[in-house]
Structure 1
Amino acid sequence: MRRLQELLLGPRFTAANASSGSEIWVLGLCYKVSADPNNETLSVQAFEEFISDFTSRIWITYRKGFECVGQSKLTSDVGWGCMLRSGQMLLAQALVCHYLGRSWRREPGQPCSQAYLQILQTFGDSESCPFSIHNLLEAGHPFGLAAGSWLGPYALCRTLEALARADREQSQKKGGKRALPFAVYVVSGEAEGERGGAPVLCVEDVATLCSKWREPTEEWTPLLVLVPLVLGLDKVNPRYLPSLRATFTFPQSLGIAGGKPGASTYLIGVQDEQAMYLDPHENQQVVPVTPENLELDTSSYHCSTVRRLPLDTIDPSLAIGFYCRDRAEFDDLCARSSELAKQSNGAPMFTVAEKSAPPKPADSCNLDLEESIPKDPSSEDDWQML
Structure 2
Amino acid sequence: MDPVRRLQEQVFGCRWAPSTSSSIHSIWLLGVYYPLSNAEEHAEIYKQFEAVYHSCIWISYRKGFQAIMGTKLTTDVGWGCMIRSGQMLLAQALICHYLGRTWQRSDSTLRVYLEILQCFGDIPSCPYSIHNIVRNGAPYGLVAGSWLGPYAMCRSLEVLVGWAGKYRLVRSNDKTTSPMAIHVVSGNVEGERGGAPCICIDVVSEICSGWGGVAGEACALLLLIPLVLGLNKVNPRYFPLLSETFTFPQTLGILGGKPGASTYLIGGARRSSHLFGSSSSTTGYI
Assess, with a 3 A threshold, how the Cα gap between structure 1 residues 54 and 177 changes in structure 2: closer, same or farther: closer
> 1:136 and 1:247 mapped to 2: Cα distance?
27
1:93 CA drift (Å): 0.3
Q: Alignment partner of 2:227: what SS?
A: strand
The alignment's TM-score, normalised by the length of structure 1, stands at: 0.64
Assess, with a 3 A threshold, how the Cα gap between structure 1 residues 137 and 59 changes in structure 2: closer, same or farther: same
Task: Pick from 124, 136, 161 the counterpart of residue 139 of structure 1.
Answer: 136
1:231 paired residue number = 229
- Whether the 8 Å contact between 2:35 and 2:45 is mirrored in structure 1 is yes
Answering whether residue 227 of structure 2 is matched by residue 209 of structure 1, we say: no
> 2:132 and 2:85 mapped to 1: Cα distance?
15
Q: What 5-or-longer segments of structure 1 have no aligned partner?
A: 1-8, 288-386
Aligned residue pairs: how many? 267
- Whether the 8 Å contact between 2:119 and 2:128 is mirrored in structure 1 is yes
1:210 CA drift (Å): 1.6
> 1:245 and 1:64 mapped to 2: Cα distance?
34
Task: Pick from 162, 184, 192 the counterpart of residue 165 of structure 1.
Answer: 162
> 2:264 and 2:146 mapped to 1: Cα distance?
19
1:27 paired residue number = 30
1:159 CA drift (Å): 0.7
Code of the residue aligned with 2:179 in structure 1: it is: P
1:167 CA drift (Å): 2.6
1:248 paired residue number = 246
1:162 CA drift (Å): 1.2
1:77-88 alignment runs, 5 A limit? 77-88=76-87
- Whether the 8 Å contact between 1:18 and 1:33 is mirrored in structure 2 is no
- Whether the 8 Å contact between 2:83 and 2:130 is mirrored in structure 1 is yes
Identity among equivalent pairs (%): 52
- Whether the 8 Å contact between 1:19 and 1:33 is mirrored in structure 2 is no
2:284 paired residue number = 285
Q: Alignment partner of 1:41: what SS?
A: coil
- Whether the 8 Å contact between 1:68 and 1:74 is mirrored in structure 2 is yes
Answering whether residue 117 of structure 2 is matched by residue 120 of structure 1, we say: yes
Code of the residue aligned with 1:119 in structure 2: it is: I
> 1:93 and 1:126 mapped to 2: Cα distance?
20
- Whether the 8 Å contact between 1:182 and 1:224 is mirrored in structure 2 is yes
Assess, with a 3 A threshold, how the Cα gap between structure 1 residues 218 and 86 changes in structure 2: closer, same or farther: farther
- Whether the 8 Å contact between 2:78 and 2:260 is mirrored in structure 1 is no
2:68 paired residue number = 69
1:165 CA drift (Å): 2.5
1:144 CA drift (Å): 1.6
- Whether the 8 Å contact between 2:94 and 2:116 is mirrored in structure 1 is yes
Q: Alignment partner of 2:246: what SS?
A: helix
1:85-100 alignment runs, 5 A limit? 85-100=84-99
Query: How far does the alpha carbon of each residue in 1:97-133 deviate from its partner, in whole angstroms, 9 at most, with x for none?
Result: 11111121125xx687110100100000001111000
> 2:215 and 2:93 mapped to 1: Cα distance?
21
- Whether the 8 Å contact between 2:194 and 2:226 is mirrored in structure 1 is no
The alignment's TM-score, normalised by the length of structure 2, stands at: 0.85
1:150 paired residue number = 147
Code of the residue aligned with 2:143 in structure 1: it is: A
For the aligned residues, what is the CA RMSD? 2.5
1:261 CA drift (Å): 5.9
Q: Alignment partner of 2:161: what SS?
A: helix
1:56 paired residue number = 55
Q: Alignment partner of 1:75: what SS?
A: coil
Code of the residue aligned with 2:73 in structure 1: it is: L
Query: How far does the alpha carbon of each residue in 1:294-339 deviate from its partner, in whole angstroms, 9 at most, with x for none?
Result: xxxxxxxxxxxxxxxxxxxxxxxxxxxxxxxxxxxxxxxxxxxxxx
- Whether the 8 Å contact between 1:15 and 1:47 is mirrored in structure 2 is no
1:275 CA drift (Å): 1.4
1:212 CA drift (Å): 2.3
Q: What 5-or-longer segments of structure 2 have no aligned partner?
A: 1-10, 171-177
Q: Alignment partner of 1:209: what SS?
A: helix
Structure possessing the higher radius of gyration over alpha carbons: 1
Query: How far does the alpha carbon of each residue in 1:266-301 deviate from its partner, in whole angstroms, 9 at most, with x for none?
Result: 1111112111111101101123xxxxxxxxxxxxxx
Q: Alignment partner of 1:215: what SS?
A: coil
